[in-house]
Amino acid sequence: MTDFSNTIAVCPGTYDPVTEGHLDIIRRSARLFGKVVVGVVKASPRKETLFSTEDRVEFLRQSLGEEIPVDAFDTLLVDFARKWHARALVKGLRAISDFEYEFQMAQLNRKLAPDIETVYLMASPEYSFLSSSGVKEIAKYGGNVDDLVPAVVAGRLAAFFQ
């Protein structure tokens, strides 16, 4: 078995907002790798964010504590990984639909940085249905998201959609 205790990994995402599923992937990654850095995408080309970059970073910091660094970026993911001397990118997969997009991104990242591996962790069963967009929709219509997101996020969503 390979020892990853000296390997730095990056868990990238928009985290708009961070969910319990995201936190599960990050925490499981931290058990596998020597150091995990959470990379928050400042502006996604795929979607507009509800929360500011600063809010998203703060939600993660409050949820994860001091052991796992959180940093925002607006560069190529592989350049962000190099900044942190990371050798792995960790992504969570919920379903086949996630895989199609992630496979394409992994191949592009491999072309740009063949020395950085992409590693996928399957979502834990209790989070396999969970998405940030689903959480926002539930909150928008007054549903309870308390067990889907950290308390700080649930409070902000409730305030935002009042």
Residue 51 has which token pair? 């929360």
Catalytic residues: 22, 47, 94, 132
- The pTM for the full model equals 0.94
CB distance 31 to 148 below 8 Å: no
Count of other CB atoms within 10 angstroms of residue 160: 13
User: What is the tens place of the pLDDT at every residue in 11-46?
Assistant: 999 999 999 999 999 999 999 999 999 999 998 777
Q: What are phi and psi of 122, to 5 degrees?
A: -75, 140
User: What is the tens place of the pLDDT at every residue in 71-105?
Assistant: 999 999 999 999 999 999 999 999 887 888 899 99
DSSP code of 6? T
Domains and their CATH numbers in the chain: 8-128 (3.40.50.620)
